[in-house]
């Protein structure tokens, strides 16, 4: 099915044809950031089946390697460092979609090869540097379902002040050196946004050696104990705005796992939104129409 073509004009067609075309359009490009709910990150908890239908497992030789987020039926976004030294060996990699438990992927999961990886041009392939983001083009379009849906990107109206509660999800280690045990159920963890100045001070390395660059944001707990860990790289930092889940950040780096005063560092999707839009056709943006606060009621007529 060619999903990028516009549907034929609806004028003059029968109601039955119009309904069929509308259903076809939804199947091709469902609304982003809206799970169709069915009835370990350090310190995290099991997620529900299909709770985060855009979270994918990027696999190397059939084993979980990194996480990523589905943007369209053909594109995934992840951390660039997941492909360090591997851009010429992409045949080793695949993307597993629609999976909740890695040990029990189920018949409705889909595995797709990777056609190409486009790292951000400013990324230097050194850990903890800016531009740690990559776009992954799948070998063929995937089929959306209640377990496989895209996430939204934040538009220019979205602002995430400190203490905003967001979520991360992944299949990474539950502690340093301790992998997620079978059946490897997708883990989730609520993490508040941390003020960028506080995070910059925590990771300060000396004059002229800023660790927290303009395209990074921090989230987590200063006391430690709860955090992303090895294997969670590339996964999403998700914030709910106006009833939709937006991809605010990508799990990039940190010092240790759940260490005190070492919160997780994420690459901001707001900082790289324009770059993504230039490459990925059909990515959906959402946000508030009037900044980050609740929408105001229209003025009453006098």
pLDDT single digits (tens) 265-296: 999 999 999 999 999 999 999 997 444 443 33
CA distances from 231 to 73, 112, 173, 180, 301 (A): 24, 20, 6, 9, 56
Position 19 confidence tier, pLDDT thresholds 50, 70, 90: very low
Catalytic residue list contains 65: no
pLDDT single digits (tens) 87-133: 999 999 999 999 999 999 999 999 999 999 999 999 999 988 999 99
pLDDT single digits (tens) 227-240: 888 889 999 999 99
- pLDDT reported for residue 294: 39
Name all domains of the chain by residue range, CATH numbers in brackets.
52-138 (2.40.10.10), 153-270 (2.40.10.10)
Which of 207 and 154 is assigned the larger pLDDT? Answer: 154
Task: For residue 58, give the nearest of 84, 73, 76 by alpha carbon.
Answer: 76
Instruction: Give yes or no for residue 24 having a pLDDT over 60.
Output: no
Catalytic residue list contains 130: no
The catalytic residue among 73, 132, 227, 232 is 132
Phi, psi of 286 (to 5 degrees): -145, 160
Catalytic residue list contains 81: yes
In the block, tokens 């990699």 appear at 93
pLDDT single digits (tens) 35-44: 986 545 666 6
For the CA atoms of 85, 87, 90, 92, what is the dihedral angle to 10 degrees? 0
The catalytic residue among 130, 233, 252, 268 is 233
- pLDDT reported for residue 227: 81
Instruction: Give yes or no for residue 302 having a pLDDT over 60.
Output: no
- pLDDT reported for residue 28: 58
Instruction: Give yes or no for residue 250 having a pLDDT over 70.
Output: yes
Which of 106 and 297 is assigned the larger pLDDT? Answer: 106
Instruction: Give yes or no for residue 7 having a pLDDT over 60.
Output: no
pLDDT single digits (tens) 58-68: 999 999 999 99
Kindly report the number of other CB atoms within 10 A of residue 90's CB atom.
Answer: 16
- pLDDT reported for residue 45: 80
CA distances from 73 to 69, 114, 162, 241 (A): 11, 13, 33, 23
Instruction: Give yes or no for residue 225 having a pLDDT over 80.
Output: yes
């Amino acid at each position: 099915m060619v999903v990028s073509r516009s549907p034929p004009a609806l004028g003059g067609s029968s109601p039955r044809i119009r309904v069929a075309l509308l259903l076809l359009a939804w199947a091709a490009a469902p609304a982003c950031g809206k799970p169709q709910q069915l009835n370990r990150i350090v310190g995290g908890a099991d997620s529900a089946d299909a709770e985060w239908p855009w979270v994918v497992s990027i696999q190397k030789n059939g084993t979980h390697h990194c996480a990523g987020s589905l943007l369209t039926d053909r594109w995934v976004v992840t951390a660039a460092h997941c492909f360090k030294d591997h851009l010429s060996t992409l045949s080793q990699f695949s993307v597993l979609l629609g999976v909740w438990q890695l040990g029990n992927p189920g018949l409705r999961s889909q595995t797709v090869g990777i056609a190409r990886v486009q790292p951000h041009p400013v990324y230097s392939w050194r850990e903890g540097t800016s531009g740690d983001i990559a776009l992954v083009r799948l070998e063929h379009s995937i089929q959306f379902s209640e377990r496989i849906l895209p996430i939204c990107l934040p538009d220019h109206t979205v602002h995430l002040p400190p203490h905003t509660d967001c979520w991360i999800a992944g299949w990474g280690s539950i502690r340093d050196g301790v992998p997620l045990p079978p059946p490897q159920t997708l883990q989730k963890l609520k993490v508040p946004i941390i003020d960028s100045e506080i995070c910059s001070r925590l990771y300060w390395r000396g004059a002229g050696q800023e660790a927290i660059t303009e395209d990074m944001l921090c989230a987590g707990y200063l006391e430690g104990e709860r955090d992303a860990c090895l294997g969670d790289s590339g996964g999403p930092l998700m914030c709910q705005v106006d009833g939709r889940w937006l991809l605010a950040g990508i799990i990039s780096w940190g010092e240790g796992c759940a260490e005190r005063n070492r919160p997780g560092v994420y690459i901001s999707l707001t900082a790289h939104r324009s770059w993504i839009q230039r490459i990925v056709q059909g990515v959906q943006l959402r946000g508030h129409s009037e900044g980050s606060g609740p929408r105001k009621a229209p003025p009453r007529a006098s």
